[in-house]
Amino acid sequence: MHAGEATNTYHLCRQLVERGIEVHVLTSVGNIGTADPRIHVHPIMNSWGWTELIRVRTFVKRCAPDAVFLMYIGLMYKYHPMVTFLPTLCKKLFPDVPFVTRYESAFVGADPSKTGFISRVFRKFMVRWAGVRDVVYSSGTLLRDSDSVIALCERHRAMLMEEWPPVGGKVALIPPPPNLFIAPNDAGEARRRGRKRLGVKPTDFVVTFFGYLYPIKGIETLLRAFAAVSAQRPEARLVFIGGKVDLDVEGGASYFDEMQALAKSLHIDGRTTWTGAFKSDEEDASLLLHASDVCVLPFLEGVQLNNSSFASMVAHGLPIIVTRGPLMDQAFVHGENVLTCEPKDHEGVARLLLEVMDHADLRDRLRAGAFKLAAEWFSWDTATEKTLTALRGRLSNKVA
């Protein structure tokens, strides 16, 4: 799928198989998997509803796993509660096999109220079957029966603990590393190649957004900020690396087209490049990031450690302007590894862009801070080892 969660799953699977672990991925019909024969993809799930519990049970029994790892976000499973009872199902099949749930987002889990009457009745039966104590409405038994729960940022961890306080003792914080192949930039070669692809001059200053485009990304803020900057600085260029997301995000279907129309109405379409989707295991996106001078992530909810697009940017050592959220991870330090402003503040973004353009020492400081942040928080080796620790280190040669 064209979704950050899908891409990060692929890279995590690659890390696991490279460590000699057998990986089986249970996914939806139509998800074709990868060209890597070491990753066994099973696209057999139709709806992730109650009727498919038997299919999950059969799959898990056949795999006889040494550990089960669930990537969870309500949106991925159409907010259906079935998935939220999988830890209990797996524990009844294999009591001693670790079950780990990684929360891709803690904002919205399942929403049983939006299912039909029969489905809600069946959920009540499942609650009795699972044991009514500590079953949470939106997350079922995910928090109670998972042996470990992975949160991708501090805000997510706080939200999970608010939903079920006892989970605090088994939450691990593991931000997602970059979702793409990073091209080496020896002697600036990758930067030269990237800028040639963009068709920009050596004196042009490239402002970049990286990631999928949908409403919560706040693209309109960046477009308005860039319009203000480019009116003063004709050398400014704007690049969007990424395309539409496949997940059914509210308002996402038309957002990409709406933002292109806004760029035209702001008279910056001639200075703006939209690359569309890219393949995460090829070098194209990395070359364009190397070609960039500054990146901007104007998210409406603020940037957090869970944003894999941010991980990709710091891995390239780029100065980055981000928006602040309600609970910002302590790893972000304004003026040291990022520059921050409030969401929807296009004037603030424009002011910071001009500051970055005018001060080479600031760019150098932010680049150094970005590389340090990447090493501390977004290394694939570190994230994979922490994930294996969450799986209790009991893996031998299989994972389902």
Q: Examine the pLDDT at 259 and tell me if it is beyond 80.
A: yes
CATH architecture of the domain formed by 4-177+381-390? 3-Layer(aba) Sandwich (3.40)
Q: How far apart are CA 192 and CA 183, in angstroms?
A: 12
**CA angle, corner 310, sides to 213 and 297, nearest 5?**
50
Q: Would 4-177+381-390 and 186-378 be classified into the same CATH topology?
A: yes
CB 206 within 8 Å of CB 200:
yes
| 90-97 contact pairs (CB < 8 A, 24+) | 90/60, 91/145, 93/57, 93/60, 93/61, 94/60, 94/64, 94/65, 97/65, 97/66, 97/67, 97/68
pLDDT tens for each residue of 217-251: 999 999 999 999 999 999 999 999 987 766 555 55
Would you list the domain boundaries of the chain? Answer: 4-177+381-390, 186-378
CATH class of 186-378: alpha beta
Q: How far apart are CA 69 and CA 323, in angstroms?
A: 32
* Mean per-residue pLDDT, 128-132: 93
Q: Which residues contact 258 (CB under 8 A, 6 or more apart)?
A: none
pTM attached to this predicted model: 0.82
Q: What is the 3-state secondary structure of the chain?
A: CCCHHHHHHHHHHHHHHCCCCCEEEEEECCCCCCCCCCEEEEEEECCCCHHHHHHHHHHHHHHCCCCEEEEECHHHHCCCHHHHHHHHHHHHHCCCCCEEEEECCCCCCCCHHHCCHHHHHHHHHHHHHHCCCCCECCCECHHHHCCEEEECCHHHHHHHHHHCHHHHHHEEECCCCCCCCCCCCHHHHHHHHHHHHHCCCCCCEEEEEECCECHHHCHHHHHHHHHHHHHHCCCEEEEEEECECCCCCCCHHHHHHHHHHHHHHCCCHHHEEECECCCCCCCHHHHHHHCCCEEEECCCCCCCCCCHHHHHHHHCCCCEEEECCCCCCCCCCECCCEEEECCCCHHHHHHHHHHHHHCHHHHHHHHHHHHHHHHHHCCHHHHHHHHHHHCCCCCCCCEC
Among the residue ranges 40-49, 274-283, 376-385, the one predicted with the least confidence is 274-283
CB 338 within 8 Å of CB 294:
no
Q: What pLDDT, on the 0 to 100 scale, is given for residue 188?
A: 94
Average pLDDT in the chain: 91
* Mean per-residue pLDDT, 28-44: 87
How far is Cα of residue 203 from the mean position of the Cα atoms in its chain?
Answer: 33
- Of the pLDDT bands very low, low, confident and very high (cuts 50, 70, 90), residue 393 is low
- Of the pLDDT bands very low, low, confident and very high (cuts 50, 70, 90), residue 399 is low
Q: What pLDDT, on the 0 to 100 scale, is given for residue 250?
A: 55
pLDDT tens for each residue of 334-382: 999 999 999 999 999 999 999 999 999 999 999 999 999 999 999 999 9
